[in-house]
Structure formats: C-alpha cells, structure tokens
Amino acid sequence: MLENIENSLNNAYKCVKQFINEESNLIKIEQISTKIAAAFQNKNKVLICGNGGSAADAIH
C-alpha cells in the first residue's frame, strides 16, 4: 500500500514539475489570475468550472 501511495505521489510530482517547466503555462496562469482579480475588483461575477477533481477545486 505504501508503495502505491509513493508511486502516485511521485507521478503527480513529475506531472506538476513538467507543467511548471513549460513557461507558457505560467504565463497563462498569470493572465487568467489578473483577469479574475480585475473582475472581483469591478464587483463582477466570476464563474469557474472544472471537470472531475478540478470542479471540486473550483468551488472553494
């Protein structure tokens, strides 16, 4: 069981590391964050949707 947990965490780490190493991903996050912050500052409604686990993250 511990081996499965370790493998799962290592796979997630590798995936996140690859995502971070692609600069365009970070630029997209910055752009989206700026737009969301501006919407909140202008008292606009912001709807964020996801699929599966990301849907749960979006409601927090």
The upper half-sphere exposure of residue 44, i.e. CA atoms within 13 Å in the direction of its Cβ, equals: 10
The answer on pLDDT for 60 being more than 90 is no
Q: pLDDT value at position 24?
A: 98
Angle at 39 between CA 35 and CA 44, to 5 degrees: 150
pLDDT at 44: 97
Domain count, the chain: 1
What residue numbers bound the domain in which 17 lies?
A: 2-58
* pLDDT one-digit tens code per residue, 7-57: 999 999 999 999 999 999 999 999 999 999 999 999 999 988 767 666 566
